[in-house]
Amino acid sequence: MTLPEIVDSHCHLDFPDFEGELPSILENARAAGVRRMVTICTKLQNEPKVRAIAETYEGVFYAAGVHPMSAAEHPLVTVDQLVALARHPKFVGIGETGLDYHYTADSAEVQQTSLRLHIEAAQDTGLPLIIHARAADDDMARILAEGYRAQPYACVMHCFSSGAGLAKAALDLGFYLSMSGIASFPKSQELRDIFAAAPLDRILLETDSPYLAPVPHRGKRNQPAYTAFTAKTGAQIFGLSLEDFAAATTANFDRLFTKAARKAQAA
């Protein structure tokens, strides 16, 4: 049986949870049909390690930015820094960046400044912006829209678990919503309803591994292979076969992450 291709659009392969296990983790992914993934750097001092992972393993791409919860810990990233990183052939996205007022509301102003710098880098490079949003829906919608009005850019709302209002604001700008294992949790019906109301051609899949493992592995270490379980949930939400849903979300990934798509086509 040929497995449908599934893409994990957001994982963290440099995290200590995977130390010494990457070859087997990636073999597990391939066995589940997950042949491509984007590993995300959340602090720029870790970029060399994340880059090395992407350089070492076929099918692994990377993105880099400053996570909003870390935005106040170091000097602000510059647009030039991000643009320089984007020259790497396997660097495919800007971020993750965004706003997180759940734990770090005290740094809201710095987070907003950092977010705007990442938006400018996405505009300058043509690479998609990767957004983390938590407990900041109104400010997030406003800043994303302000930036888009100044100069359009592409964007994915990573691990989308916010409200319907932010979903509509993002979709109205032509952005994408990424579905994580949260969509499979029993108490996530409101989130499943938000995804069901979204256009199929704006949905991506991700693990955010090592976090947020989907049912039936909830509570355990997540890994890219488990994108297949979230794909099954997504297929149920949209009333599609797994094959059709996987094909749609893979096409969406290629449309958004054009640099990764070109690299895959050239391989």
Distance CA 69, CA 73 (A): 8
Chain segment 83-115, per-residue pLDDT in tens: 999 999 999 999 999 999 999 999 999 999 999
pLDDT band per the 50, 70, 90 thresholds, residue 265: confident
% the chain with pLDDT above 70: 99
- The pairing of strands 203-205 and 176-179 is parallel
**What DSSP string describes 118-130?**
HHHHHHHH-PPEE
pLDDT of residue 3: 79
- How much is the pLDDT for 163? 97
Residue keyed to tokens 């592995």: 217
**What pLDDT digit, counting tens, does each position of 156-215 carry?**
999 999 999 999 999 999 999 999 999 999 999 999 999 999 999 999 999 999 999 999
CATH topology of domain 6-266: TIM Barrel (3.20.20)
Q: Which of 109, 115, 124, 106 is nearest to 77 (CA)?
A: 115
pLDDT above 90: residue 18? yes
Nearest Cα to 242, choosing from 37, 36, 33, 59?
33
Say if residue 1's pLDDT is above 70. Answer: no
Percent of the chain with pLDDT over 90: 96
